[in-house]
């Protein structure tokens, strides 16, 4: 099996398995919410869980898309930007990437961009890629309130750092009241 056909097979298995199970779970939660005897305090908790399940479904769908389109980095990033539906400026996506770097960045960039959208209060995000001194430099910056740090119980940024360091790269995070800039060097 080629790597592309292997990715498509994995995407199919995820779609037909985990994704369908999550959708079914969502429908069951909807049924509990719609039941006439469900107490209001219980409804609030179930609604919170339902939103979490909906977010998981979207993440699984994004992973399926990434697996199916793993060879076309710019297309996957553009689809992510469309999905996020936010003011995002992009430059340099035409940079030549190794398959290893492409797969890494397709894991890390969505996490960092979603963090900026969900937590920074930013009105604009910039994603840039450049080759400098034989190194790939990826920069994600926003004009939000700052605060992008490693925090106990939150593993998004930590997971990104671990992924990047695993391939010999580094991440620099500069975060202050005028926004956050995260630079990945590979």
Q: How far apart are CA 160 and CA 154, in angstroms?
A: 12
Q: Tell which wins on pLDDT, 138 or 79.
A: 138
Give the separation between CA 33 and CA 89, rounded to whole angstroms: 40
Asked if pLDDT for residue 68 goes beyond 90, the answer is no
Higher pLDDT, 151 or 177: 177
Token output for 48: 């919170």
* Mean of pLDDT values over 96-100: 81
Q: What is the pTM of this model?
A: 0.64
Nearest to 62 by CA among 81, 48, 49: 81
Q: How confident is the model at residue 99 (pLDDT cuts 50, 70, 90)?
A: confident
Q: Average pLDDT for residues 112-141, to the nearest whole number? A: 90
Rg of the chain over CA atoms, in angstroms?
Answer: 19
CA-to-CA distance for 170 and 31, rounded, in angstroms? 47
Characterise 119 by phi-psi region: left (phi > 0), alpha (psi -120 to 50), beta (else): alpha
Residues 23 and 21: their CA atoms lie apart, in Å, by: 5
């Amino acid at each position: 099996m080629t790597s592309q056909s292997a990715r498509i097979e994995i995407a199919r298995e995820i779609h037909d398995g985990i994704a369908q199970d999550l959708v079914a779970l969502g429908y069951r939660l909807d049924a509990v919410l719609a039941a006439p005897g469900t107490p209001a305090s219980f409804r609030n908790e179930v609604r919170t869980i339902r939103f979490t399940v909906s977010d998981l479904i979207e993440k699984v769908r994004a992973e399926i898309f990434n697996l199916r389109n793993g060879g076309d980095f710019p297309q996957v990033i553009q689809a992510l930007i469309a999905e996020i539906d936010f003011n995002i400026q992009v430059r340099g996506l035409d940079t030549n990437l190794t398959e290893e770097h492409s797969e890494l960045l397709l894991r890390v960039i969505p996490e960092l961009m979603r963090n900026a959208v969900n937590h920074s209060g930013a009105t604009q995000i910039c994603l840039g890629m450049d080759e400098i001194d034989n190194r790939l430099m990826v920069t994600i910056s926003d004009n939000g309130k700052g605060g992008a740090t490693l925090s106990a119980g939150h593993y998004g940024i930590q997971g990104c750092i671990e992924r990047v360091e695993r391939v010999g790269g580094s991440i620099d995070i500069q975060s202050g009241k005028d926004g956050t800039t995260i630079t990945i060097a590979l």
